[in-house]
Chain A
Protein backbone atom coordinates (compact mmCIF):
# COMPACT_ATOMS: atom_id res chain seq x y z
CA UNK A 1 0.00 0.00 0.00
CA UNK A 2 1.24 3.46 -0.92
CA UNK A 3 -0.23 6.54 0.72
CA UNK A 4 -0.36 9.83 -1.17
CA UNK A 5 2.05 11.44 1.29
CA UNK A 6 4.58 8.62 0.81
CA UNK A 7 4.74 9.04 -2.98
CA UNK A 8 8.12 10.24 -4.23
CA UNK A 9 7.92 13.31 -6.50
CA UNK A 10 8.89 11.19 -9.52
CA UNK A 11 6.10 8.68 -8.78
CA UNK A 12 3.64 11.53 -8.31
CA UNK A 13 4.58 12.98 -11.65
CA UNK A 14 4.36 9.57 -13.35
CA UNK A 15 0.94 8.95 -11.82
CA UNK A 16 -0.35 12.29 -13.07
CA UNK A 17 1.05 11.50 -16.53
CA UNK A 18 -0.88 8.25 -16.50
CA UNK A 19 -4.15 9.49 -14.97
CA UNK A 20 -4.70 12.77 -16.80
CA UNK A 21 -4.99 11.28 -20.32
CA UNK A 22 -7.38 8.66 -18.96
CA UNK A 23 -9.54 11.30 -17.24
CA UNK A 24 -9.56 13.29 -20.48
CA UNK A 25 -10.69 10.17 -22.39
CA UNK A 26 -13.62 9.69 -20.01
CA UNK A 27 -14.61 13.37 -20.11
CA UNK A 28 -14.44 13.76 -23.88
CA UNK A 29 -16.25 10.48 -24.59
CA UNK A 30 -18.90 11.42 -22.01
CA UNK A 31 -19.30 14.81 -23.69
CA UNK A 32 -19.67 13.23 -27.13
CA UNK A 33 -22.24 10.77 -25.74
CA UNK A 34 -24.18 13.63 -24.18
CA UNK A 35 -24.61 15.17 -27.62
CA UNK A 36 -27.21 12.45 -28.26
CA UNK A 37 -29.44 13.79 -25.49
CA UNK A 38 -32.68 14.69 -27.22
CA UNK A 39 -31.65 12.95 -30.44
CA UNK A 40 -31.23 9.24 -29.64
CA UNK A 41 -33.25 6.81 -31.78
CA UNK A 42 -36.03 6.44 -29.19
CA UNK A 43 -37.07 8.01 -25.90
CA UNK A 44 -35.98 5.06 -23.77
CA UNK A 45 -32.56 5.05 -25.39
CA UNK A 46 -32.29 8.80 -24.93
CA UNK A 47 -32.63 8.26 -21.18
CA UNK A 48 -30.26 5.29 -21.12
CA UNK A 49 -27.53 6.89 -23.21
CA UNK A 50 -27.77 10.23 -21.41
CA UNK A 51 -27.33 8.36 -18.17
CA UNK A 52 -24.29 6.54 -19.55
CA UNK A 53 -22.85 9.90 -20.65
CA UNK A 54 -23.28 11.21 -17.09
CA UNK A 55 -21.58 8.08 -15.75
CA UNK A 56 -18.53 8.66 -17.95
CA UNK A 57 -18.26 12.30 -16.91
CA UNK A 58 -18.65 11.11 -13.31
CA UNK A 59 -15.75 8.72 -13.86
CA UNK A 60 -13.68 11.57 -15.23
CA UNK A 61 -14.50 13.54 -12.07
CA UNK A 62 -13.21 10.68 -9.88
CA UNK A 63 -9.90 10.60 -11.74
CA UNK A 64 -9.51 14.40 -11.87
CA UNK A 65 -10.05 14.45 -8.09
CA UNK A 66 -6.99 12.22 -7.62
CA UNK A 67 -4.94 14.28 -10.06
CA UNK A 68 -6.02 17.43 -8.23
CA UNK A 69 -4.88 15.97 -4.93
CA UNK A 70 -1.52 14.97 -6.39
CA UNK A 71 -0.92 18.36 -7.98
CA UNK A 72 -2.66 20.56 -5.43
CA UNK A 73 -5.03 21.57 -8.22
CA UNK A 74 -8.79 21.87 -8.73
CA UNK A 75 -10.76 19.09 -10.51
CA UNK A 76 -13.14 21.58 -12.17
CA UNK A 77 -10.22 23.57 -13.52
CA UNK A 78 -8.55 20.41 -14.80
CA UNK A 79 -11.73 19.42 -16.61
CA UNK A 80 -12.90 22.77 -17.94
CA UNK A 81 -10.25 25.47 -17.69
CA UNK A 82 -7.39 24.10 -19.73
CA UNK A 83 -6.71 25.34 -23.24
CA UNK A 84 -7.68 22.91 -26.01
CA UNK A 85 -4.06 21.96 -26.72
CA UNK A 86 -3.49 20.85 -23.11
CA UNK A 87 -5.91 17.91 -23.29
CA UNK A 88 -4.34 14.47 -23.72
CA UNK A 89 -7.30 12.28 -24.71
CA UNK A 90 -6.93 9.74 -27.50
CA UNK A 91 -8.14 10.78 -30.93
CA UNK A 92 -10.78 8.04 -30.98
CA UNK A 93 -12.93 9.71 -28.29
CA UNK A 94 -12.96 13.18 -29.86
CA UNK A 95 -14.23 12.09 -33.29
CA UNK A 96 -17.69 13.43 -34.13
CA UNK A 97 -20.48 11.02 -33.33
CA UNK A 98 -21.33 10.22 -36.94
CA UNK A 99 -24.29 7.85 -37.01
CA UNK A 100 -25.72 5.67 -34.26
CA UNK A 101 -23.66 2.66 -35.36
CA UNK A 102 -20.41 4.65 -35.04
CA UNK A 103 -21.45 5.92 -31.61
CA UNK A 104 -22.35 2.44 -30.36
CA UNK A 105 -19.30 0.75 -31.88
CA UNK A 106 -16.96 3.33 -30.33
CA UNK A 107 -18.59 3.17 -26.95
CA UNK A 108 -18.74 -0.62 -26.82
CA UNK A 109 -15.11 -1.06 -27.88
CA UNK A 110 -14.12 1.63 -25.39
CA UNK A 111 -16.13 -0.07 -22.62
CA UNK A 112 -14.14 -3.21 -23.21
CA UNK A 113 -10.89 -1.28 -23.02
CA UNK A 114 -12.14 0.26 -19.79
CA UNK A 115 -13.11 -3.13 -18.36
CA UNK A 116 -9.63 -4.51 -19.00
CA UNK A 117 -8.03 -1.44 -17.42
CA UNK A 118 -10.36 -1.34 -14.40
CA UNK A 119 -9.84 -4.99 -13.56
CA UNK A 120 -6.09 -4.45 -13.39
CA UNK A 121 -6.29 -1.10 -11.57
CA UNK A 122 -8.58 -2.58 -8.91
CA UNK A 123 -5.45 -4.34 -7.66
CA UNK A 124 -3.35 -1.13 -7.56
CA UNK A 125 -1.17 -0.64 -4.47
CA UNK A 126 -2.28 3.01 -4.46
CA UNK A 127 -5.59 2.82 -2.54
CA UNK A 128 -7.32 5.88 -4.07
CA UNK A 129 -6.78 4.41 -7.54
CA UNK A 130 -7.92 0.89 -6.58
CA UNK A 131 -10.96 2.47 -4.91
CA UNK A 132 -12.20 4.45 -7.90
CA UNK A 133 -11.47 1.51 -10.23
CA UNK A 134 -13.81 -0.72 -8.25
CA UNK A 135 -16.48 1.99 -8.12
CA UNK A 136 -16.29 2.56 -11.87
CA UNK A 137 -16.33 -1.16 -12.68
CA UNK A 138 -19.78 -1.52 -11.12
CA UNK A 139 -21.28 1.04 -13.52
CA UNK A 140 -19.28 -0.21 -16.47
CA UNK A 141 -21.00 -3.59 -16.24
CA UNK A 142 -24.28 -1.99 -17.28
CA UNK A 143 -22.52 -0.06 -20.05
CA UNK A 144 -21.20 -3.31 -21.50
CA UNK A 145 -24.61 -5.00 -21.37
CA UNK A 146 -26.08 -1.97 -23.11
CA UNK A 147 -23.32 -1.94 -25.74
CA UNK A 148 -23.53 -5.66 -26.35
CA UNK A 149 -27.29 -5.43 -26.84
CA UNK A 150 -26.95 -2.65 -29.44
CA UNK A 151 -23.96 -4.22 -31.17
CA UNK A 152 -25.92 -7.45 -31.56
CA UNK A 153 -29.00 -5.60 -32.74
CA UNK A 154 -27.13 -3.58 -35.36
CA UNK A 155 -25.19 -6.65 -36.51
CA UNK A 156 -28.33 -8.72 -37.01
CA UNK A 157 -31.01 -6.08 -37.63
CA UNK A 158 -30.91 -5.34 -41.36
CA UNK A 159 -28.29 -5.25 -44.10
CA UNK A 160 -28.17 -1.48 -43.67
CA UNK A 161 -27.57 -1.59 -39.91
CA UNK A 162 -24.96 -4.32 -40.34
CA UNK A 163 -23.24 -2.37 -43.12
CA UNK A 164 -23.10 0.76 -40.98
CA UNK A 165 -21.68 -1.19 -38.05
CA UNK A 166 -19.00 -2.71 -40.28
CA UNK A 167 -18.09 0.74 -41.64
CA UNK A 168 -17.87 2.09 -38.10
CA UNK A 169 -15.76 -0.83 -36.86
CA UNK A 170 -13.40 -0.45 -39.84
CA UNK A 171 -12.89 3.25 -39.12
CA UNK A 172 -12.51 2.80 -35.35
CA UNK A 173 -10.43 -0.34 -34.83
CA UNK A 174 -7.07 1.15 -35.90
CA UNK A 175 -7.55 4.11 -33.53
CA UNK A 176 -7.67 2.07 -30.34
CA UNK A 177 -3.91 1.51 -30.08
CA UNK A 178 -3.40 5.06 -28.79
CA UNK A 179 -5.64 4.35 -25.78
CA UNK A 180 -2.88 2.07 -24.50
CA UNK A 181 0.26 4.08 -25.18
CA UNK A 182 3.12 4.21 -22.67
CA UNK A 183 3.19 7.25 -20.41
CA UNK A 184 6.17 9.12 -19.00
CA UNK A 185 7.67 7.44 -15.96
CA UNK A 186 5.36 4.44 -16.08
CA UNK A 187 8.25 2.11 -15.12
CA UNK A 188 8.17 3.65 -11.63
CA UNK A 189 4.46 2.90 -11.36
CA UNK A 190 4.94 -0.65 -12.61
CA UNK A 191 7.81 -1.30 -10.18
CA UNK A 192 5.66 -0.23 -7.24
CA UNK A 193 2.61 -2.02 -8.64
CA UNK A 194 0.68 1.26 -8.56
CA UNK A 195 0.05 0.08 -12.12
CA UNK A 196 -0.18 -3.70 -11.81
CA UNK A 197 0.22 -4.20 -15.59
CA UNK A 198 1.66 -2.23 -18.49
CA UNK A 199 -0.61 -0.42 -20.95
CA UNK A 200 0.86 -2.58 -23.74
CA UNK A 201 -0.29 -5.76 -21.99
CA UNK A 202 -3.75 -4.24 -21.52
CA UNK A 203 -3.84 -3.55 -25.23
CA UNK A 204 -3.23 -7.24 -25.94
CA UNK A 205 -6.00 -8.21 -23.51
CA UNK A 206 -8.36 -5.74 -25.19
CA UNK A 207 -7.49 -7.09 -28.64
CA UNK A 208 -8.37 -10.61 -27.52
CA UNK A 209 -11.87 -9.35 -26.73
CA UNK A 210 -12.31 -7.07 -29.72
CA UNK A 211 -10.99 -9.39 -32.42
CA UNK A 212 -13.77 -12.03 -32.33
CA UNK A 213 -16.39 -9.27 -32.44
CA UNK A 214 -14.84 -7.69 -35.50
CA UNK A 215 -14.11 -10.96 -37.28
CA UNK A 216 -17.70 -12.09 -36.77
CA UNK A 217 -18.81 -8.95 -38.64
CA UNK A 218 -16.28 -9.29 -41.43
CA UNK A 219 -13.17 -11.52 -41.45
CA UNK A 220 -11.06 -8.79 -43.06
CA UNK A 221 -11.53 -6.51 -40.02
CA UNK A 222 -9.30 -8.68 -37.81
CA UNK A 223 -6.06 -7.44 -39.33
CA UNK A 224 -6.92 -3.83 -38.39
CA UNK A 225 -5.88 -4.84 -34.88
CA UNK A 226 -2.41 -6.02 -35.86
CA UNK A 227 -0.73 -2.71 -34.97
CA UNK A 228 0.95 -2.13 -31.62
CA UNK A 229 -0.09 0.15 -28.78
CA UNK A 230 1.29 3.59 -29.52
CA UNK A 231 1.62 6.93 -27.70
CA UNK A 232 0.13 9.33 -30.26
CA UNK A 233 -1.80 11.50 -27.82
CA UNK A 234 0.06 14.73 -28.47
CA UNK A 235 -1.16 16.07 -31.80
CA UNK A 236 -2.42 19.32 -33.28
CA UNK A 237 -5.87 20.38 -32.11
CA UNK A 238 -8.41 19.23 -34.70
CA UNK A 239 -11.33 21.37 -35.85
CA UNK A 240 -13.67 18.75 -34.30
CA UNK A 241 -12.04 19.10 -30.92
CA UNK A 242 -11.80 22.87 -31.12
CA UNK A 243 -15.58 22.99 -31.50
CA UNK A 244 -16.16 20.45 -28.73
CA UNK A 245 -13.82 22.30 -26.38
CA UNK A 246 -15.52 25.64 -27.05
CA UNK A 247 -18.91 24.19 -26.21
CA UNK A 248 -17.76 22.15 -23.23
CA UNK A 249 -15.96 25.06 -21.55
CA UNK A 250 -18.49 27.76 -22.45
CA UNK A 251 -20.28 27.94 -19.10
CA UNK A 252 -17.13 27.63 -17.04
CA UNK A 253 -15.51 30.41 -19.08
CA UNK A 254 -18.55 32.67 -18.88
CA UNK A 255 -17.60 34.07 -15.48
CA UNK A 256 -20.93 33.04 -13.98
CA UNK A 257 -19.12 31.19 -11.23
CA UNK A 258 -18.56 27.56 -10.56
CA UNK A 259 -21.42 26.83 -8.21
CA UNK A 260 -25.04 26.64 -9.37
Chain B
Protein backbone atom coordinates (compact mmCIF):
# COMPACT_ATOMS: atom_id res chain seq x y z
CA UNK B 1 0.00 0.00 0.00
CA UNK B 2 1.29 3.46 -0.83
CA UNK B 3 2.48 5.87 1.86
CA UNK B 4 2.43 9.64 1.93
CA UNK B 5 5.80 11.29 1.52
CA UNK B 6 6.59 14.92 2.28
CA UNK B 7 8.76 16.58 -0.36
CA UNK B 8 11.40 19.23 0.38
CA UNK B 9 13.53 21.27 -1.99
CA UNK B 10 16.21 23.91 -1.96
CA UNK B 11 17.14 26.44 -4.60
CA UNK B 12 20.89 26.12 -4.08
CA UNK B 13 23.09 23.91 -1.93
CA UNK B 14 23.52 26.72 0.60
CA UNK B 15 19.77 27.37 0.96
CA UNK B 16 17.70 25.63 3.63
CA UNK B 17 15.33 22.83 2.64
CA UNK B 18 11.77 24.09 2.22
CA UNK B 19 8.59 22.03 2.13
CA UNK B 20 7.22 21.70 -1.42
CA UNK B 21 4.23 19.38 -1.01
CA UNK B 22 3.51 15.69 -0.70
CA UNK B 23 3.25 12.66 -2.97
CA UNK B 24 1.82 9.19 -2.64
CA UNK B 25 4.36 6.45 -3.31
CA UNK B 26 5.20 2.85 -2.46
CA UNK B 27 8.78 3.52 -1.35
CA UNK B 28 11.26 6.41 -1.02
CA UNK B 29 12.73 5.84 -4.47
CA UNK B 30 9.32 6.06 -6.12
CA UNK B 31 8.55 9.16 -4.05
CA UNK B 32 11.72 10.89 -5.29
CA UNK B 33 11.16 9.96 -8.94
CA UNK B 34 7.52 11.08 -8.88
CA UNK B 35 8.22 14.22 -6.85
CA UNK B 36 10.60 15.40 -9.55
CA UNK B 37 7.85 15.65 -12.17
CA UNK B 38 5.04 16.50 -9.73
CA UNK B 39 6.68 19.65 -8.35
CA UNK B 40 9.73 20.48 -10.43
CA UNK B 41 8.65 20.42 -14.06
CA UNK B 42 9.22 24.17 -14.30
CA UNK B 43 11.56 24.85 -11.38
CA UNK B 44 15.02 23.40 -11.15
CA UNK B 45 16.05 23.02 -7.52
CA UNK B 46 19.59 22.11 -6.44
CA UNK B 47 18.34 19.16 -4.41
CA UNK B 48 15.23 17.41 -3.15
CA UNK B 49 14.48 15.22 -0.15
CA UNK B 50 11.50 13.06 0.69
CA UNK B 51 10.47 11.75 4.10
CA UNK B 52 7.65 9.40 4.92
CA UNK B 53 4.98 11.40 6.70
CA UNK B 54 4.73 8.72 9.38
CA UNK B 55 8.42 9.22 10.15
CA UNK B 56 7.84 12.87 10.96
CA UNK B 57 6.83 13.56 14.57
CA UNK B 58 4.70 16.63 15.11
CA UNK B 59 4.51 18.07 18.62
CA UNK B 60 0.94 17.57 19.76
CA UNK B 61 1.03 20.16 22.57
CA UNK B 62 1.13 23.25 20.36
CA UNK B 63 0.11 25.44 23.31
CA UNK B 64 3.69 25.28 24.63
CA UNK B 65 4.80 27.02 21.47
CA UNK B 66 2.84 30.17 22.39
CA UNK B 67 4.47 32.92 24.45
CA UNK B 68 3.43 33.17 28.15
CA UNK B 69 4.64 36.25 30.02
CA UNK B 70 6.53 39.10 28.37
CA UNK B 71 9.64 37.61 26.77
CA UNK B 72 10.52 40.63 24.65
CA UNK B 73 13.96 40.72 26.29
CA UNK B 74 14.71 37.53 24.38
CA UNK B 75 14.00 39.16 21.03
CA UNK B 76 16.71 40.84 19.01
CA UNK B 77 14.42 43.86 18.51
CA UNK B 78 14.66 44.64 22.23
CA UNK B 79 18.36 45.41 21.81
CA UNK B 80 18.32 47.85 18.91
CA UNK B 81 20.35 51.03 19.52
CA UNK B 82 22.50 49.42 22.23
CA UNK B 83 25.76 50.59 20.70
CA UNK B 84 24.53 54.17 20.67
CA UNK B 85 23.31 54.00 24.27
CA UNK B 86 26.61 52.54 25.37
CA UNK B 87 28.51 55.30 23.62
CA UNK B 88 26.39 57.93 25.42
CA UNK B 89 27.07 56.35 28.81
CA UNK B 90 30.81 56.16 28.10
CA UNK B 91 30.86 59.86 27.17
CA UNK B 92 28.93 60.79 30.32
CA UNK B 93 31.40 58.89 32.52
CA UNK B 94 34.50 60.28 30.84
Chain A residues with CB under 8 Å of B35's CB are 44
Which of B18-26, B51-59, B67-75 lines the interface with chain A?
B18-26
Q: Does B94 contact A (CB under 8 A)?
A: no
| Per-position binary interface string of chain B over residues 5-39, scored 1 when its CB falls under 8 Å from any chain A CB and 0 otherwise | 00000000000000000011111011001111110
Residue of B23, B27, B33, B35 with most chain A CB atoms under a 10 A cut-off: B33
Q: Does B2 contact A (CB under 8 A)?
A: yes
Contact across chains for A51 and B30 when beta carbons are under 8 A apart = no
Interface of A, secondary structure class, is helix
Q: Does A243 contact B (CB under 8 A)?
A: no
Tell me, rounded to whole Å, the shortest Cβ–Cβ distance linking A210 to chain B: 21
Contact across chains for B33 and A145 when beta carbons are under 8 A apart = yes
Contact across chains for A153 and B26 when beta carbons are under 8 A apart = yes
Contact across chains for A47 and B26 when beta carbons are under 8 A apart = no
Contact across chains for B33 and A48 when beta carbons are under 8 A apart = yes
Contact across chains for B38 and A48 when beta carbons are under 8 A apart = yes
Q: Does A88 contact B (CB under 8 A)?
A: no
User: In the bound complex, what is the Cα–Cα distance between A157 and B2 (angstroms)?
Assistant: 12
- The number of A-B residue pairs with CB atoms under 8 Å apart is 34
Q: Does A45 contact B (CB under 8 A)?
A: yes
Contact across chains for A149 and B33 when beta carbons are under 8 A apart = yes
Q: Which residue of B lies closest to A44 (CB)?
A: B34
Tell me, rounded to whole Å, the shortest Cβ–Cβ distance linking A225 to chain B: 27
User: In the bound complex, what is the Cα–Cα distance between A44 and B37 (angstroms)?
Assistant: 8
User: In the bound complex, what is the Cα–Cα distance between A232 and B8 (angstroms)?
Assistant: 48
Q: Which residue of B lies closest to A145 (CB)?
A: B33
Contact across chains for A44 and B41 when beta carbons are under 8 A apart = no
Given A51-B41, A149-B29, A153-B26, also A45-B34 (CB < 8 A): yes
Contact across chains for B36 and A48 when beta carbons are under 8 A apart = yes
Q: Does A146 contact B (CB under 8 A)?
A: yes
Chain B residues with CB under 8 Å of A42's CB are 2, 24
User: In the bound complex, what is the Cα–Cα distance between A105 and B33 (angstroms)?
Assistant: 17
Q: Which residue of B lies closest to A147 (CB)?
A: B33
User: In the bound complex, what is the Cα–Cα distance between A204 and B23 (angstroms)?
Assistant: 39
Given A149-B30, A153-B26, A153-B30, also A47-B37 (CB < 8 A): yes
22 contacts between A and B (CB under 8 A): A42-B24, A43-B24, A43-B38, A44-B23, A44-B24, A44-B25, A44-B37, A45-B34, A47-B37, A47-B38, A47-B41, A48-B36, A48-B38, A142-B36, A145-B33, A146-B33, A149-B29, A149-B30, A149-B33, A153-B26, A153-B27, A153-B30
Binding site for A on B (CB under 8 A): 2, 23-27, 29-30, 33-38, 41
Binding site for B on A (CB under 8 A): 42-45, 47-48, 51-52, 142, 145-146, 149, 153, 157
In the complex, besides A44-B34, A47-B34, 10 extra interface pairs with C-beta distance below 8 angstroms are: A42-B24, A44-B25, A44-B38, A48-B33, A48-B34, A48-B36, A48-B37, A48-B38, A51-B37, A51-B41
